[in-house]
């Protein structure tokens, strides 16, 4: 039998007594130099010690080897037994995924024999060669499903050298890659995933339900019928939410709080919140349709956060004109039931309150900057002029950010010159605005509520005081934390809103004729000569501007086009493609046009004059973006279509700005969206 050779610490442990003999001899020699008698005594002791150590080492070596071999064998057997009986499924693979060894639990759950030596992919299709490659670099976990159970498969690389025990070396010789194996452990996640899913289902969703036009409806019916109508509305709301086991509590005469479990939210989405349409059929002597707005908050870390999400959602629903449901799930916002038309408010209380609030804010600021959306149109410019006049009334310095002056805007801008009594820094560009602005500067945004659409988005980051006036429906992107926000989707234009505000801003408010012309022109353009989104308050605002000196003939002259622009618009209409017999899609060529986006918008209006066209879309490539102008008369909600493109707007007037795409790509995207919405029933003809 070959003698076992010990290495490492064990070798030094066994040979230490022998090395001590040499140490004692050296010490004895030193003693001899001092005292021969003592040296002789120590020599005798060293001889006796050496004889005993060598005899014990020789006589016990065989027994010691046997004990060590027995311990190692017993330890290896126990280790192998423990690994084989390990409750967690465990297997070893080579670098190709071929199974080399598996324990009993792995064999049991997979139904494979312990001598199964095929690829692991034949058992778990999710564990492919590519996934195994990832395990070579670091521990890698992948979720897999086997039968009715779900597992987290943990794979990690095991490095070996030539000094491993015999069992490991035997396994390694079976592998193609001798120096490495991949260990696979399966952790059963079925129950954990089940309880996670149940926990998600049982999370509470907070909801707010508002009656949009409560005052208008109840003022229009007899007093004796009001309690009956209230009871019918309450019953319908409670009955609808009883289907999802919800708690419904009435907070006010026109407001409800709804709380239910997360699992029922999908049912409401699938149902498309049918109560929005059902509530419109409620009749108890009322001629006006009753509409609801609903906001739901989910996905928050706490109940308080969900309640805050619900508040934001209901604000979005109301800001988009009402008669719809909005779900805010963390950063995602979904809209449902948005086919309804915005409801016009007959009361001017809100306009008066906003005017007073604006006045108080302006009085506390020394510097005021007004800006609209990029490539300003007449409505944006007119609204900015109106607010400039409000600041002037308070003898405050105000400037308007205007980066691009289009051909349609130039005649209006040219009336504001030093010769006419206006300062030379009335209009500034973005760079100048950034230099002027600080945290105390009041920044007023008009005709848009999306930061990325403004003429100078960085101003919103510089200033702590932001005011927003807009008539577009709100989307997921909006100005954060404005100190005053006046959003009225029912309004025809931003100029209409500003005209109302100016009436309550000051009793002695004075507008010059050219200023009134600009605001009037904004209403005229956005209403397409009072044919689109025109209400009672639109004409009242126009009447106020007329009293201030606005003249229709003068405005008409200011808005006239040159021959090249007129021909370009005619070309857009001439080359329009009719898609599915209902939708007109055309492309506006930007070459040789100073303001192609304006031409595109006007052409979109023109296309609606064609019989059978229910919606129009004009695409314009300008300044490395694709501008889409969309219009409809009443049947198609073009805002829904534009939102899927990343834009927004109104029921009948909407648009989008798209980057990193070609005109043809955007055109095909619009066609795909139309096909999808027709198939889903979002567009009903």
Q: What pLDDT is recorded for position 178?
A: 45
Residue 2 lies in a domain: no
Intra-chain end-to-end CA distance of the chain, in Å: 97
Q: What pLDDT is recorded for position 495?
A: 94
d(CA 532, CA 608): 12
- Same domain assignment for residues 410 and 361: yes
Low-confidence residues in the chain, pLDDT < 70: 1-8, 10, 61-62, 65-66, 68-80, 136-138, 159-180, 338-348, 476, 685
DSSP element (H, E) containing 422:
none
**Residue among 600, 660, 596, 655 at smallest CA distance from 624:** 660
Pinpoint the alpha helices (H) of 527-607: 536-547, 552-558, 563-574, 596-607
Pinpoint the alpha helices (H) of 451-534: 458-462, 494-505, 513-526
- Same domain assignment for residues 413 and 373: yes
CATH number, residue 147:
3.30.450.20
Q: Residue 644 is part of which domain span?
A: 565-680
Q: What pLDDT is recorded for position 685?
A: 66
Alpha carbon 71 to its chain's center:
63
Would you state the structure tokens that stand for residue 303, as one six-digit string? Answer: 């109940």
Domain boundary (59, 83, 107) is at: 83
CA angle 381, 383, 386 (to 5 degrees): 110
- Same domain assignment for residues 115 and 146: yes
Tokens 């890659």 -> residue: 177
d(CA 221, CA 273): 27
Is the distance from CB of 619 to CB of 647 less than 8 angstroms?
no
Residue 341 lies in a domain: no
d(CA 479, CA 498): 19
Residue 202 lies in a domain: no
Domain boundary (511, 526, 558) is at: 558
Is the distance from CB of 431 to CB of 403 less than 8 angstroms?
no
Count of domains observed in the chain: 5
Beta strands per DSSP E along 221-315: 247-252, 255-261, 292-298
Measured from the Cβ of residue 432, the count of other Cβ atoms closer than 10 Å reads 15
Residue 468 lies in a domain: yes
- Same domain assignment for residues 523 and 428: yes
d(CA 678, CA 450): 28
Would you state the structure tokens that stand for residue 631, as one six-digit string? Answer: 């219009």
Would you state the structure tokens that stand for residue 257, as one six-digit string? Answer: 């709080």
Cα-atom radius of gyration of the chain, to the nearest Å? 41
Q: What pLDDT is recorded for position 339?
A: 55
- Same domain assignment for residues 434 and 548: yes
d(CA 444, CA 459): 10
Residue 116, φ and ψ in degrees, nearest 5:
-70, 120
CATH number, residue 545:
3.90.1640.10
Would you state the structure tokens that stand for residue 75, as one six-digit string? Answer: 């330890």
Number of helices (H), then strands (E), in the chain? 24, 23
d(CA 613, CA 273): 30
- Same domain assignment for residues 377 and 405: yes
Phi-psi region of 607 (alpha: psi -120 to 50; beta: other; left: phi over 0): alpha
pLDDT per residue as tens digits for the range 87-131: 889 888 887 888 888 888 888 888 888 888 888 888 888 888 888
Can you give the length of the chain in residues?
685
Q: What pLDDT is recorded for position 283?
A: 87
- Same domain assignment for residues 412 and 475: yes
């Amino acid at each position: 039998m070959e003698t076992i050779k010990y290495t490492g610490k064990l070798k030094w442990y066994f040979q230490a007594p022998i090395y001590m003999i040499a140490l004692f001899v050296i010490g004895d020699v030193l003693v001899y130099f001092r005292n021969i008698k003592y040296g002789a005594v120590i020599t005798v002791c060293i001889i006796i010690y050496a004889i005993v150590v060598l005899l014990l080492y020789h006589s016990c070596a065989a027994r010691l080897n046997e004990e060590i071999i027995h311990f190692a064998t017993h330890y290896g057997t126990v280790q192998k037994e423990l690994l084989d009986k390990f409750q967690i499924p465990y297997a070893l693979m080579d670098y190709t995924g071929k199974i080399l060894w598996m324990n009993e639990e792995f064999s049991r759950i997979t139904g494979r024999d312990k001598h199964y030596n095929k690829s692991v992919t034949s058992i778990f299709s999710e564990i492919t060669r590519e996934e195994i490659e990832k395990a070579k670099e670091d521990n890698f976990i992948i979720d897999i499903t086997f039968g009715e159970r779900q597992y987290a498969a943990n794979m990690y690389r095991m490095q070996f050298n030539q000094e491993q025990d015999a069992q490991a070396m035997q396994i390694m010789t079976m592998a193609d890659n001798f120096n490495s194996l991949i260990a696979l452990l399966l952790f059963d996640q079925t129950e954990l995933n089940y309880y996670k899913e149940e926990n998600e289902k049982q999370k509470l969703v907070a909801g707010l339900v508002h009656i949009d036009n409560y005052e208008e409806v109840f003022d229009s019916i007899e007093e004796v019928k009001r309690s009956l109508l209230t009871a019918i509305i309450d019953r319908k709301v409670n009955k609808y939410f009883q289907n999802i086991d919800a708690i419904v509590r009435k907070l006010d005469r026109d407001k409800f709080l709804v709380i239910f479990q997360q699992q029922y939210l999908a049912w409401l989405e699938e149902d498309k919140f049918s109560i929005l349409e059902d509530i419109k059929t409620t009749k108890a002597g009322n001629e006006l349709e009753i509409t609801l707005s609903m906001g739901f908050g989910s996905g928050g870390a706490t109940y308080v956060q969900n309640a805050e999400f619900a508040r934001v959602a209901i604000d979005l629903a109301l800001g988009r004109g009402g008669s719809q449901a909005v779900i805010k799930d963390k950063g995602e916002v979904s809209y449902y039931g948005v086919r309804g038309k915005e409801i016009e408010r007959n009361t001017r209380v809100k306009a008066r309150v906003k005017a007073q609030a604006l006045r108080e804010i302006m009085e506390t600021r020394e510097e005021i900057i007004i800006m609209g959306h990029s490539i300003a149109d007449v409505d944006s410019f007119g609204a900015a002029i109106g607010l400039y006049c409000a600041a002037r009334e308070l003898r405050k310095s105000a400037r308007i950010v205007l980066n691009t002056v289009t051909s349609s805007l130039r005649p209006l801008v040219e009336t504001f010159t030093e010769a006419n009594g206006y300062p030379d820094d009335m209009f500034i560009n973005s760079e100048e605005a950034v230099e002027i602005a600080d945290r105390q500067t009041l920044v007023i945004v008009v005709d848009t509520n999306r930061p990325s659409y403004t003429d100078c988005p960085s101003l919103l980051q510089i200033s702590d005081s932001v005011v927003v006036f807009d008539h577009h429906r709100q989307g997921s992107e909006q100005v954060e934390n404005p100190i005053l926000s006046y959003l009225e989707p029912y309004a025809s234009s931003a100029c209409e809103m500003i005209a109302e505000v100016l009436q309550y801003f000051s009793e002695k408010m004075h507008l010059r004729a050219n200023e009134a012309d600009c605001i009037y022109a904004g209403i005229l353009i956005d209403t397409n000569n009072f044919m689109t989104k025109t209400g009672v308050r639109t004409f009242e605002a126009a009447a106020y501007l007329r009293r201030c000196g606005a003249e229709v003939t003068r405005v008409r002259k200011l808005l006239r086009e040159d021959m090249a622009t007129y021909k370009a618009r005619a070309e857009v209409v001439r080359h329009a493609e009719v898609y599915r017999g209902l939708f007109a899609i055309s492309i506006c060529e930007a070459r040789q046009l100073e303001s192609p986006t304006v031409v595109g918008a006007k052409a979109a209006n023109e296309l609606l004059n064609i019989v059978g066209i229910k919606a129009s879309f004009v695409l314009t490539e300008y300044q490395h973006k694709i501008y889409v102008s969309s219009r409809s008369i009443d049947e198609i909600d073009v805002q829904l279509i534009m939102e899927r493109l990343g834009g927004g707007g109104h029921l009948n007037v909407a648009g989008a700005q798209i980057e990193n795409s070609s005109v043809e790509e955007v055109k095909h995207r619009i066609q795909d969206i139309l096909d999808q919405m027709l198939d889903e029933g979002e567009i009903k003809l």
